[in-house]
Amino acid sequence: MKGDNCFTFIDLFAGIGGMRLAFESCDGECVFSSEWNKFSQITYRENFGEMPIGDIREINEKDIPDHDILVAGFPCQPFSIAGVVKKNSLGRASGFLDRTQGTLFFDIVRILNEKRPKGFLLENVKNLKSHDGKKTWKVILESLEELDYEVFWEVKDGQDYVPQHRERIFIVGFDRRRYGRNINFSFNFLVKTQKRKLKEILDGEVPLKYTLSDRLWQYLQDYAAKHRARGNGFGYGLANIEGITRTLSARYHKDGSEILIPQVDSNPRRLTPRECARLQGFPENFKIPVSDTQAYRQFGNSVVVPLVTAIAKQILDTIENMEEGDGQQDSVVL
């Protein structure tokens, strides 16, 4: 599945297309995309030339094109077990479609069930495993198992690819009905030994509007001091430009406190939206057509593109090797 042998994929809960960039860089063709946020749709359209479908819940799974890989950075929600308990008490099988009904994960399940792609990649926050008293994680794994997919998962940190500490959980699956259970997949691909430094992604000159006002800077210092006195760890993060940053979040637009850039003879400043794009590994030609507030939200919700690219290559190598029957996999070096 390399070179001219193009594969197809769909991009669900697409955001601004970070996962799409990764799979397109591996010669993939996106045949369907879905994203409900209107501002993310604008950014997606500007960069990929198409408007993603809005609410995936309104799309019949039979109408989605056939595809090789399903890609989704889905939101996590609590799974209600009340309906399952009721059905069990009546002697009825609940099954994965019933257990996930009413959640956005249900849309992934019903599409996998109908289209049966060769594989999938799902991405979520690290705490997905403990979400809702671990019920969410249990239902997800059981549902994918019942779908007859061989599942692999691991928490990976983006700092191997960008100067940012960013842990996310990645779930990979392969169709057992096509490949059986003896699937040789591993997240232990090779990465660069020389990690990037924050200073590599910073602009030399930045507009004054990104520098914190005296009032905001004083507030953040007072807030941090108050919590230190209580023995708490809350407070702003003054980044070391020779190292890496904290995790960029969607709330960065509020005050930028988790990642502040020190400045000589001046208050610290926020990252610019372009610097946030670089911090997530987006290419320089990626267009940012929305306001700073929306851009901060979008990049804070996105993925580390080169990390997803490494995982995508590993998925594709695994499928290629299974289809060729040689059983040997090459590690990925980016």
pLDDT tens digits, one per residue of 266-290: 999 999 999 999 999 999 999 999 9
Question: Which distant-in-sequence residues (6+ apart) come within 8 Å of 199 by Cβ?
Answer: 241, 242
**Of the listed ranges 57-61, 87-91, 170-174, 199-203, the one predicted with least confidence:** 87-91
- As to burial, measured by CB atoms within 10 angstroms (0-12 exposed, 13-18 middle, 19+ buried), residue 55 is exposed
Residue 183 above 90 pLDDT?
yes
For β-strands 149-157 and 119-125, DSSP reports them as unpaired
Identify the pLDDT of residue 74: 86
- H or E segment and range at residue 106: helix 105-115
Residues 286 and 221 in one domain: yes
CA distance 290 to 27: 28
Averaged pLDDT, 316-333: 69
Averaged pLDDT, 312-329: 82
**Does any domain span residue 329?**
no
CA distance 72 to 69: 10
pLDDT confidence band for 193 (50 / 70 / 90): low
**Does any domain span residue 265?**
yes
Tokens representing residue 4 in the block: 């001219």
Residues 62 and 152 in one domain: yes
Number of domains in the chain: 2
**Residue 280 Cα distances to 129, 275, 276, angstroms:** 23, 9, 6
Residue 114 above 70 pLDDT?
yes
pLDDT tens digits, one per residue of 244-267: 999 999 999 998 899 999 999 999
The winner for highest mean pLDDT among 91-95, 155-159, 220-224, 229-233 is: 155-159
Range of 270's domain? 198-294
Question: Which distant-in-sequence residues (6+ apart) come within 8 Å of 322 by Cβ?
Answer: 174, 179, 183
Residues 90 and 223 in one domain: no
CA distance 92 to 94: 6
CATH of the domain at 232: 3.90.120.10
CATH of the domain at 109: 3.40.50.150
Residues 286 and 309 in one domain: no
pTM equals 0.88
pLDDT confidence band for 302 (50 / 70 / 90): very high
φ/ψ region of 319 (left if φ > 0, alpha if ψ in -120 to 50, else beta) reads alpha
**Does any domain span residue 281?**
yes
Residues 157 and 224 in one domain: no
Residues 266 and 319 in one domain: no
**Does any domain span residue 78?**
yes
Residues 107 and 12 in one domain: yes
pLDDT confidence band for 326 (50 / 70 / 90): very low
Residues 143 and 177 in one domain: yes
Question: Which distant-in-sequence residues (6+ apart) come within 8 Å of 141 by Cβ?
Answer: 151
Active site residue ranges: 76
Count helices and strands in the chain by DSSP H and E runs: 12, 8
